[in-house]
Amino acid sequence: MWSTRAKEDVELLELFEASGRNVQRASCLLRDLYAEYPERPELAGEVLACEHEGDRIAHEILSRLAERGTRSADLDAADVHALAGALDDVVDHAEEAADQLGLYGVEAPMVQAQQMSEVLVGTADLVVESLRGLRDGEDVADRLVEIHRRENEADRIVRAAVASLFATGIDPMTVIRWKDIYDTLESAVDACETVANVLEGITLKRAANGPH
């Protein structure tokens, strides 16, 4: 568990959990949007609301970090910045992927895009579990490994999807639009992997410092 002297760190970890839940909500909304589009376009507005909430939480995290100053703590300032930024990036990319459907005049999502949104939801669930485990002092290594595996799965889906676009000989503008959407969805999953990388670094530092 985190030391009693690191009350500020406990508060930061709780904010990170809130950010993780926001990531999870944005991912679920995006999945539903892609599954049902164009039947429920209002879901894009709900993803945008998550993006605003993510910005608010990130600002709160950095404000708490500034208040902590140079006092002794378990969480490095660099790790706090990196983790807050990566969590915020997931939601930013999810919001962009939601917006692109309307921006590009998409009539119906590609199956691979729906698959990517499902992978993002599963990865976001693992992010939430990992953040909760970090706060509770649990070993989160298995969850972090699974996040990396899912990121690899997303890479495979995107490569196959892009190859399929070029193989079918559809309109070049359609190819460009869908490649852009796939890239955005992949960036959302990549940001989850960045979260895992930061969490891995934090857990290694915790292990090196020993129990408090």
Q: Tens of pLDDT along 130-160?
A: 999 998 989 999 999 999 999 999 999 999 9
Give the range with max mean pLDDT: 9-18, 85-94, 171-180.
85-94
pLDDT surpassing 80 at residue 211: no
Single-letter amino acid, residue 210 = G
Q: In this predicted structure, what is the pLDDT of residue 72?
A: 59
pLDDT for res 137: 87
Say if CB 10 and CB 135 are below 8 A apart: yes
Identity of residue 41: P
How many structural domains comprise the chain? 1
Measured distance CA(168)–CA(162) in Å, rounded = 10
Cβ atoms of 10 and 45 within 8 Å: the answer is no
Euclidean distance between the first and the last CA atom of the chain, given in angstroms as a whole number: 7
Q: What single DSSP character describes residue 210? A: -
pLDDT at 82: 97
pLDDT of residue 6: 63
**What is the structure's pLDDT at 3?**
47
Mean pLDDT confidence for 181-193: 98
Determine the pLDDT at residue 4. 43
Q: Residue 40 is encoded by which pair of tokens?
A: 């429920």
Could you tell me if 23 and 87 are in contact, meaning their C-beta atoms sit under 8 angstroms apart? yes
With contact defined as beta carbons under 8 Å apart, do 16 and 195 qualify? no
Q: How many helices (H) and strands (E) does the chain have?
A: 6, 0
- pLDDT category at 5 given cuts 50, 70, 90 is very low
Question: Position 171: which residue type?
Answer: D
Which band of pLDDT confidence, cut at 50, 70 and 90, is reported for residue 208? Answer: confident
14-72 pLDDT per residue, tens: 999 999 999 999 999 999 999 999 999 999 999 999 999 999 999 999 999 998 876 65
Residue 1 has pLDDT above 60, yes or no: no
d(CA 88, CA 6): 24
Look at residue 2 in the predicted model and tell me its pLDDT. Answer: 45
> Is 49 in a helix, a strand, or coil?
helix
Structural domain containing residue 172: 4-209
Please state, as a whole number, how many other Cβ atoms lie within 10 Å of the Cβ of residue 105: 7
Each residue's pLDDT tens digit, 76-126? 999 999 999 999 999 999 999 999 999 999 999 999 999 999 999 999 999
| CATH number of the domain that residue 192 is part of | 1.20.58.220
Regarding pTM above 0.85, the answer is yes
